[in-house]
Structure 1
Amino acid sequence: MGHFINEDFALEGKKARQLYHDYASQLPIIDFHCHLSPAMIAEDYHFQDLGEAWLAGDHYKWRAMRTHGVNEDYCTGEKSYREKFQKWAETVPYTLGNPLYHWTHLELARYFGIFDLLSPANAGMIFDKASAMLTGEDMGTRGLLQMMKVEVVGTTDDPVDSLEHHQALKDFSIKIRPTFRPDNVIKTEVLDEFNAYITRLEQVSGKTINNLDTLVEVLDERHAYFDSMGCRASDHGLSRMYYVADFVSKAPKAFEKIRSGKALDVDENEAYCTYMMYELCKMNHKRGWVQQFHLGAIRNNNTRIFRNVGLDTGHDSIGNNQDSYRMSRFLDLLDNEDKLAKSILYNLNPADNEMFITMVGNFQDGSVAGKMQYGAAWWFLDQKAGMEKHLKDLSVLGLLSHFVGMVTDSRSFLSYPRHEYFRRIVCNYIGGEVEKGLIPNDDSLLKELIERVSYRNAAEYFGF
């Protein structure tokens, strides 16, 4: 009996296997959006064991463990990593059908050469073997990236960040590029937190921010600094896109109001957020960046858990359908002024796939191939069924050949087999279409498609 993770894993037909092995399997990785720590890369951090590497911040695993009845002490609590790993091993056999089962075994195989199915019975052996390997000189964070042939990592960084770790990594063989993520200037809901953040911007800039013009000026200075440090992209994590027609007249007063410690009403908040996103997107266009919009998450749903353990712990979900009118008006506002940068829109609600794809098609202008992108299947859609739907929908309503492809969107240094997973799913989908007679069995066409979606489109689009 062969291994579960074998050379033809997830490749259902002869053509799929040929496409993957001949064209996709050896390509480098450009991971243009993730949440890896640049500090950990700069210091070439070595994990103390497999438990830390896998479970220190992986809310996907925590969510599954809770569903399996595992106490919070073994997720975000104070239990040892060996104890937490044992609970994860007890959970894994119950994740059949979930992408976590595939990811777990791909990671064991690719990083550690372990092809056994993880279970409570062999958890100790696997923990000890993998943990011992992680102590090796070439198994720090840098070595883990190099092992997977990563060429570029796009981290996620706040405008107030010094980027000192990126500076320290300027001569590293892998390009570690910052990404400008100014979400904190949009988060007006908690007054004290918003105003504390503006104070941090004042400290970094040396300027007093008492009006909207100065705030925009400070953000533009930080934007320029990020650009000088090799940043080529922004990222915006929004529940939805904002738009109101009279934002220019209303936003300055709204900012003064919130700086005085008074909450904004719905209309004032819409005006302020529209104004800030408008100005930020103009900066992106001015410096030739790619702007990314991660849309549709409803976050921190469980108040009790949020109060006890905080952000990013696995209590977020898919939100309601997006407001297509506001999305259209905001993109049109920028396009009408010739200030619309290359843009990637990531959708979290599968009911909105077709709307997103047709929306980005409205603003393709012929200046750049694939200027407006329907981003990779994201978060809850980052699994086989979600990717297959993404590929099918994009194929029929857009141009799959210009798709910039996969990102990990991960905090884990062991997540890079997700690129392999994506490439296998792409090759399986295209191979299946060939065998149905819906795509010609022409290797020159197919090689171009697979290499572009797996690697080349991202390299050309971002210009890293």
Structure 2
Amino acid sequence: MPTTTSLDQDRLFPAEPRTRELARELYAGVAEAPIISPHGHVDPTLLATDRPFADPTDLLITHDHYVTRLLVASGCQFDELGLDPSRPADARAVWRRLAEHWHRFAGTASAYWIRHELAELFGIDEELAPANADRTYDRIAVTLAEPAFTPRELFRRFRIDVLATTDDPLDDLAAHRTLAADPGFPGRVLPTFRPDAYLDPEADGFAGRIERLLAESGRSTDFVGYLAALAGRRAHFVEHGAVSADHGVLEPVAFDLDAAEAERLFADAVAGRLDSAGARRFRGHMLFQMARMSVDDGLVMTVHPGVRRNHHTETFRAYGPDRGHDIPVRTEYTESIRPLLERFGMEPGFHLVLFAIDETLYSRELAPLAGFYPSVYVGAPWWFLDAPDAILRYRSAVTETAGFYRTSGFIDDTRAFLSIPARHDASRRLDAAFLARLVAEGRVSLPTAHRIAADLVDAIPREVFKL
């Protein structure tokens, strides 16, 4: 029989009674604060069109690769999960598969978020299981049809003040214009410039993208024209409210090349004759150029490195990207990014947020870098690390060197719209727990801890992302 799973009001707090009481007090001060989400992947058309959600599976499973990857690892097939656009699966059957395998999610961040969503949004207070799969599916489906459950109504209910999306450089940003022009829409939905596929010669379709970029901008077909076209698209994003440019790279390497080498590499890249060493130098030079442009136009530069995308070639060819097989690799910042910091690290107004999925970087490299360069901030735990224990390890690794105010504030980095409150609530609870320990150990005063807890959800992300 399914067991009850009513949310524990002290979840994620320390077990020691006095420290738990302090955590409760600190959390209470920020629990209802508006959400600032300066980096994520929610589709802005969801809010612009305000169409009702399709069904429970589309809402909670299909677009969440945290969920689908573990289902695949547990023996489910991509086709039966509805991940083949040409062969849609039965939504109820997919939900049954999740219920069948729900026990395998125990202890994962995905289970924590989904339990929060089921309880808080749908009043479901029992563990998923085959016996209740149809009942829970029907309950969610009924709720989805209610007028109070449209994307915009949930945006209000979630108390989202700022939501940043991730967008292709050639996107016309029509959805963002629609939302910005609507006086009844609360909060801000901001685009984020994401140029990876236009900077990496080894990305599929690189030459075609550059051809379109240059054609739409009317720029010359040389490297100078290419840079001008990218700068023009960045300006388009700034005009539509963007505050940051995001860079997902395998390695955060930067090269300051002379004009002749840059021109030669660009020509070879467009012609498809660049070898892997040349492609690496070109990518590194373009990361350097993106920093230069951020100094010029003020966009915050965020770097998300260290992931081997699409690890399983057959899966990528059959089902495309973002299917859960992006796997972390070792990463190094100190030497790799030094040319960029030598040139721009002390520039007034330049903000560089460095993320890591390799935990060894936190205390060894990122905290020391952020503890010296005014431009550098340590990005929040990301992807596989945005989980309770990993978040606490991050705070322990970073705080003694860089403090709290050289970090980014929480980043949910999610495509799963309904999980945003659960993720931010978890972060607030964990920061309260960490601060409570510092207070209990006499390392931070209680008034200071209250201020830090509040700043972590508001003042810090506003400062880092120039909001």
User: Which of the five TM-score ranges fits, normalised by the shorter chain?
Assistant: over 0.9
CA shift, 1:71, in A, is 2.2
CA shift, 1:339, in A, is 7.3
2:444 corresponding residue in structure 1: 439
Flag the 1:90–1:436 CA change in 2: closer, same or farther, 3 A: farther
2:358 is the counterpart of 1:353: no
In the alignment, residue 117 of structure 1 is paired with which amino acid? Answer: E
2:17 corresponding residue in structure 1: none
Q: Is the 8 A contact 1:63 1:314 kept in 2?
A: yes
Q: Is the 8 A contact 1:236 1:294 kept in 2?
A: yes
1:462 corresponding residue in structure 2: 465
* Distance (whole Å) between structure 1 residues aligned to residue 177 and residue 390 of structure 2: 37
* Distance (whole Å) between structure 1 residues aligned to residue 345 and residue 435 of structure 2: 34
1:264 corresponding residue in structure 2: 275
2:217 is the counterpart of 1:205: yes
Q: Which residues in structure 2 correspond to 1:310-325 (within 5 Å)?
A: 310-325=320-335
Q: Is the 8 A contact 2:43 2:165 kept in 1?
A: yes
CA-to-aligned-CA distance 1:47-76 (integer Å, 9 cap, x gap) = 121111012211110111122222222332
> Which 5+ residue runs of structure 1 have no aligned equivalent?
365-370
1:367 corresponding residue in structure 2: none
Flag the 1:168–1:274 CA change in 2: closer, same or farther, 3 A: same
CA-to-aligned-CA distance 1:161-190 (integer Å, 9 cap, x gap) = 100110001032120101111111222115
* Distance (whole Å) between structure 2 residues aligned to residue 178 and residue 357 of structure 1: 28
Flag the 1:118–1:456 CA change in 2: closer, same or farther, 3 A: farther
* Distance (whole Å) between structure 2 residues aligned to residue 112 and residue 97 of structure 1: 21
CA shift, 1:134, in A, is 1.1
Backbone CA RMSD of aligned residues: 1.9
CA shift, 1:31, in A, is 0.5
* Distance (whole Å) between structure 2 residues aligned to residue 130 and residue 163 of structure 1: 32
1:24 to 14, 24, 30: 30
CA shift, 1:398, in A, is 0.5
Q: Secondary structure at the match of 1:138?
A: helix
* Distance (whole Å) between structure 2 residues aligned to residue 304 and residue 461 of structure 1: 40
In the alignment, residue 249 of structure 2 is paired with which amino acid? Answer: L
Q: Is the 8 A contact 1:232 1:290 kept in 2?
A: yes
Q: Which residues in structure 2 correspond to 1:17-56 (within 5 Å)?
A: 17-21=24-28, 23-56=29-62
In the alignment, residue 19 of structure 1 is paired with which amino acid? Answer: L
Q: Which residues in structure 2 correspond to 1:264-413 (within 5 Å)?
A: 264-266=275-277, 268-335=278-345, 338=347, 341-354=350-363, 355-364=365-374, 371-413=375-417
Flag the 1:402–1:263 CA change in 2: closer, same or farther, 3 A: closer
CA shift, 1:155, in A, is 0.5
CA shift, 1:3, in A, is 4.7
Count, aligned residues: 451
Q: Secondary structure at the match of 1:415?
A: helix
CA shift, 1:24, in A, is 1.5
CA-to-aligned-CA distance 1:253-277 (integer Å, 9 cap, x gap) = 11112223312340x3233223322
Q: Is the 8 A contact 1:298 1:318 kept in 2?
A: yes
2:197 corresponding residue in structure 1: 184
CA shift, 1:152, in A, is 0.6
Q: Secondary structure at the match of 2:170?
A: coil
2:243 is the counterpart of 1:239: no
Q: Is the 8 A contact 1:210 1:256 kept in 2?
A: no
1:97 corresponding residue in structure 2: 107
CA shift, 1:403, in A, is 2.9
2:144 is the counterpart of 1:134: yes
In the alignment, residue 117 of structure 2 is paired with which amino acid? Answer: E
2:205 to 193, 198, 209: 193
* Distance (whole Å) between structure 1 residues aligned to residue 349 and residue 289 of structure 2: 11
Q: Secondary structure at the match of 2:168?
A: coil
Q: Is the 8 A contact 2:378 2:406 kept in 1?
A: no
* Distance (whole Å) between structure 1 residues aligned to residue 287 and residue 349 of structure 2: 12
Q: Is the 8 A contact 2:378 2:407 kept in 1?
A: yes
CA shift, 1:94, in A, is 1.7
Q: Secondary structure at the match of 2:377?
A: strand
* Distance (whole Å) between structure 2 residues aligned to residue 343 and residue 423 of structure 1: 24
TM-score when normalising by structure 2 = 0.92
2:175 is the counterpart of 1:175: no
* Distance (whole Å) between structure 2 residues aligned to residue 244 and residue 169 of structure 1: 39
* Distance (whole Å) between structure 1 residues aligned to residue 450 and residue 38 of structure 2: 23
Q: Which residues in structure 2 correspond to 1:245-260 (within 5 Å)?
A: 245-260=256-271
* Distance (whole Å) between structure 2 residues aligned to residue 173 and residue 243 of structure 1: 39
1:449 corresponding residue in structure 2: 452
Q: Is the 8 A contact 1:282 1:340 kept in 2?
A: no
Flag the 1:245–1:162 CA change in 2: closer, same or farther, 3 A: closer
TM-score when normalising by structure 1 = 0.92
Flag the 1:182–1:404 CA change in 2: closer, same or farther, 3 A: same
The ranges of structure 1 where at least 4 consecutive aligned residues each deviate by more than 6 angstroms after the TM superposition are none
* Distance (whole Å) between structure 2 residues aligned to residue 286 and residue 405 of structure 1: 24
